[in-house]
Amino acid sequence: MTEVKKKRRKRRKYKLVLPWKQNTAQTGNKTVRRKRRRLKLKKEVWYAIAGVAAVLLLILVPRAMDNSKLKKLGYKKDEIAAIREQKLTRTLLENEWYSPYLAQAIKNNSLDKDYLELYTVVSPERGLSAQDFLLYNRLLDKGYVDKQLLNLFKNLKYWEMTPLLVFDYQYDETMYINDCTSHRETNSQDHFVLDGNYYTFYENTLPVDDVSSVDMLVNKTYYLDGSYLPPQLTDLSIQYAATDRQLAQTAADALADWCNAGRGVGVTFYATSAYRSYESQETLYRNYVGVYGEAQTDLMSARPGFSEHQTGYTVDIAATHEDDIEEFKDTLAYRWTSTNSPDYGWILRYPEGKESITGYEFESWHYRYLGVDLARAVAASGMTYDEFYCLYLKPWNGEGENKPKDSILEASDWHNLIAAETAE
C-alpha cells in the first residue's frame, strides 16, 4: 500500500460527522436512523404547569371582561389602567359610575375617594376643590343627605349653595334649586335675590358659640343673653364718635385707626351708635314695633339678645361735613369705608343684594369689627359673614362625625383666601 493511500484511509477514519447527520449510522449498504431521546416530565410537573395556566386564565379572563365593561361605561385605555392602579374597578362597575370629570380626575390621580360619587355629577368646567368638599360636609352637618347634596351640586353653583348654611333646612331641595336657576340672569355672587322665603327669623335659636371670641356670630339665629358684657368696654373719644359711646377696647382702637386713615385722604366719618346693652335694644325694638309692626321691624332692627351692637364690636357710622346728602350710601364716606374697611378690621355687615341671607335690609352704615385678617378673608370670599362663619368657623355638631379629614380642612382654611387675594 502506497504512502498516499494510507493517508487517505487515515483521513476517512476521523471524518467529521455533521450535526444534521448525527441521527443516522451506516450498516453495510443501509442507513439506520437512530432514535431521538424524548424529554419525559413527571406528573407533578405537568400538574404544576396546568395549575399556573389555570391561574392565569382566572386572572386574565375576568380582567379582560372588566376592561370591556369599563370601556362600555365610557373609560378609555389609559383611564382603565389608572383605575386598576388606584383599585377602583369594583366600585365603579358595581355602581356604574362614569362622568368625563371622574375619568379626568382618575387619570390625573387627583381623585379624592371620599367624594367619589360627587365627581359623577359635576362637569370638568365646574370641577371640585377642597372648598366644595368642606361645603359638602357642612351641609351634611346641617342635616342634608347624600342624595340631596348630589342634586344640589349637580344643579347649583358654589355661591348658590352657601346660603343654605344660614337658611332653614330644606326638606325639598328641588324647590330651592328651581328658585335659584330661575334667577340666574340677575343673581351673582354679589347679588342674591330669591322668590321663596328660606329663613324663618328667630326659630330654632341657639346661644352664641363662643362669647369670648371676636369672631362670634350674632344674627337672627344666634343670640347673647342679657348678662353678656363686651371685654374691656371703653369710652370712645368724641374725635371718633358721638358722646357717651362705648366699644370693646380692640374695636375702639381699630375705629380710631380707621377714622384717622380716612382723614388722611380727606374722608371724615364718626360712629353714631356703638355698644348697646340688652335692655337698650329691648327698648329700641319695642318702640319700632309700636310704629312699624313686628314683621317690618324684624327687617330693620334686631330683637334683644340678637343685636350685634351688644357684642361691643359694632358701629353705625355717619359722614361728617357732607351736607344735603339724604342717605349715607350716597356719601364719599360710604364709598371709601365700604372699600377700605377690611384693611382696618371692619366689614360692611348687611350689604345690598344679600337681604335674603342676612335677614336685614341694606344698611350702608352698619359695620362689624373682626380683626384685619378675618375681615379681609370675608371680603375676599364674597359671602356674607353669616355664610362665612357657618362654613369656616362654626363648631361641628355632636362628635364631629361629619367633619372632613384634616387634609381638606387644611386646604380649605380661610387664611388661604387672604393669600389668594394678595397673589392677585
The answer to whether 359 and 220 are in contact (CB under 8 A) is: yes
Residue at 248 is within a domain = yes
Range of the domain at 162: 129-198+394-424
Same domain, 268 and 333: yes
The answer to whether 149 and 120 are in contact (CB under 8 A) is: no
Q: Tell me the DSSP string of 149-173.
A: HHHHHHH--HHHHGGGGTSPP-S-H
Cell numbers of 53, please? 395556566
Q: Are strands 30-33 and 206-207 parallel, antiparallel or unpaired?
A: unpaired
CB atoms within 10 A of CB 89: 17
pLDDT at 153: 98
**Distance between the two ends of the chain, CA-based, in angstroms?**
112
Same domain, 264 and 149: no
Same domain, 211 and 174: no
Residues of the chain with pLDDT under 50: 4, 13-21, 25, 57, 60
Compute the half-sphere exposure of residue 350: CA atoms within 13 Å on the CB side of its CA.
Answer: 24
Same domain, 210 and 273: yes
The whole-angstrom separation of Cα 180 and Cα 416 is 28
Residue at 39 is within a domain = no
- Structurally, the chain folds into a number of domains equal to 3
Residue at 13 is within a domain = no
Same domain, 183 and 57: no
Torsion region of 51: left, alpha or beta (phi above 0 gives left; psi -120 to 50 gives alpha): alpha
The whole-angstrom separation of Cα 148 and Cα 345 is 37
Cell numbers of 113, please? 375617594
Residue at 275 is within a domain = yes
The whole-angstrom separation of Cα 410 and Cα 416 is 9
Residue at 366 is within a domain = yes
Residue at 409 is within a domain = yes
> DSSP strand E in 275-389: where?
314-319, 346-350, 363-369
Same domain, 313 and 362: yes
Cell numbers of 401, please? 362625625
Residue at 405 is within a domain = yes
Same domain, 179 and 290: no
Same domain, 346 and 399: no
pLDDT at 57: 47
Same domain, 256 and 335: yes
User: Which residues, 6+ apart, have CB-to-CB distance to 168 below 8 Å?
Assistant: 198, 199, 200, 203, 204
CB atoms within 10 A of CB 35: 6
Same domain, 336 and 405: no
Q: Is 240 helix (H, G, I), strand (E, B) or coil?
A: coil
Same domain, 216 and 182: no
The whole-angstrom separation of Cα 172 and Cα 314 is 36
CB atoms within 10 A of CB 34: 9
pLDDT at 419: 75
CB atoms within 10 A of CB 28: 6
211-250: string of b/e by CB count within 10 Å (b at 16+)? beebbbbbbbbbbbeeebebeeebebeeebbeeebbbbeb
The answer to whether 171 and 139 are in contact (CB under 8 A) is: no
CB atoms within 10 A of CB 311: 23
Looking up residue 245, the CATH number of its domain turns out to be 3.30.1380.10
> In the 8-state DSSP scheme, what is residue 25?
E
What residue type is 224 in one-letter code?
L
Same domain, 406 and 352: no
Cell numbers of 156, please? 347649583
pTM score of the predicted model: 0.85
pLDDT at 321: 84
Helix 130-142, helix 146-155: angle, nearest 10: 130
The answer to whether 224 and 211 are in contact (CB under 8 A) is: yes
Residue at 65 is within a domain = yes
pLDDT at 49: 56
